[in-house]
Structure 1
Amino acid sequence: MPQLLTVVAAALIGPDGHILLQQRPPGKSMNGLWEFPGGKVDPGETPEVALARELEEELGITVAPHALFPAAFASEALGDRHLLLLLFTTTAWTGVPRALEASEVRWVHVDDMHQLPMPPADLPLVLSLSALLRAPQRVGQRG
């Protein structure tokens, strides 16, 4: 049975509705591809706490775990491991996102994400996010 690898990612939604993506740096697997910022969930962490930590490490921003809203997930086999990628949305953070670990960050309209090379696991998330953003209820609201 493959080992489950839980990874969290964020769709940071700016005031104009654009979403922040980051480009994987040289030397890392899938370098040059555009992705939602995030990373692995460490033992003992909730997904929201892990994502808040990752966003501070990768982008230099502060996000309260309670300001992260579940949006979608992807599941993909990765050889001897199985990836479970959890996507959250947020419109609330402190600081200006900058590429601390990535090659570059870019604000992109959700419809334009289809033109960017992205990791295979991110592609279904783009479709889900597109549908979510078009839904009558605003993203980031509970209930």
Structure 2
Amino acid sequence: MSETDRVPVDVAVGVLIERDASGREGRFLLTSRPVGKVYAGYWEFPGGKLEQGETVEEALRRELHEELGITIGAVHDWKIELMDYPHARVRLHFCKVFEWSGEFQMREQQAMAWQQLPVQVVPVLPGTIPVLEWFAAERAFAGATHAG
């Protein structure tokens, strides 16, 4: 089976972002992949696979509660990226989340880190890199529009 023949696995990914007092996007949350999983120790945005019949939003709500112990507010569909890893082909559904409740609990013994660009944690999962590039482009555009 060639790379293009592999059926992608749909994954809901939560990009949790803090907003400053003026409403501008600030720090974002990265979590480490737990021991025992592929790419253990790599940093990524939290989330997980869609279960049969689930929407992206339903999966994201379930996954973030299971992994982090939080309940999220509105889910804002953002971008979709197809990634080919040696172990799987995944379709990553990135969603921005600005509101959540509950205390963060690392239920899979993963680590968490609030980050800004450039990120200070390494290594970063390959599927996370496009998001960091999108952030850089958005923030450069926002800075240019506010500068004039």
TM-score (norm 1): 0.82
SS at 1:125 equivalent? helix
The residue aligned with 1:90 is 97
Q: Give the SS at the match of 1:53.
A: helix
Q: Secondary structure at the match of 2:13?
A: strand
One-letter amino acid of the structure 1 residue matched with residue 95 of structure 2:
F
**Residue 51 of structure 1: CA displacement?**
0.3
Q: For the residues of structure 1 that align with 2:121 and 2:131, how far apart are their CA atoms? A: 14
Paired position in structure 2 for 1:33? 42
Deviations 1:38-76 (A, max 9, x none): 000111000011001100001100014xx1111222212
- Segments of structure 1 that go 5 or more residues without pairing to the other structure are 137-143
2:77 pairs, out of 39, 58, 70, with: 70
Give the Cα separation in 1 of the matches to 2:83 and 2:66: 25
1:99 maps to which residue? 106
Count how many residue pairs are aligned between Structure 1 and Structure 2: 133
Contact 2:43 2:121 in 1 (8 A): no
Note the alpha carbon deviations across 1:63-122, whole angstroms, 9 max, x for none.
14xx1111222212235742111111111111122311142111111x122753111121
CA change 1:35–1:102 in 2 (3 A) is farther
TM-superposed CA distance for 1:131, in Å, is 2.5
2:9 aligns with 5
Secondary structure of the 1:18 match is strand
Per the alignment, residue 120 of structure 1 pairs with 126
The 1-side partners of 2:70 and 2:137 are apart by 27
Q: What are structure 2's unaligned runs of at least 5 residues?
A: 21-25, 143-148
Check 1:122–1:61 CA distance in 2 against 1; reply closer, same or farther (3 A cut): same
Give how far 1:135 is off: 4.8
**Alignment RMSD:** 1.9
Larger radius of gyration: 2
4+ long deviations beyond 6 Å: none
TM-score (norm 2): 0.80
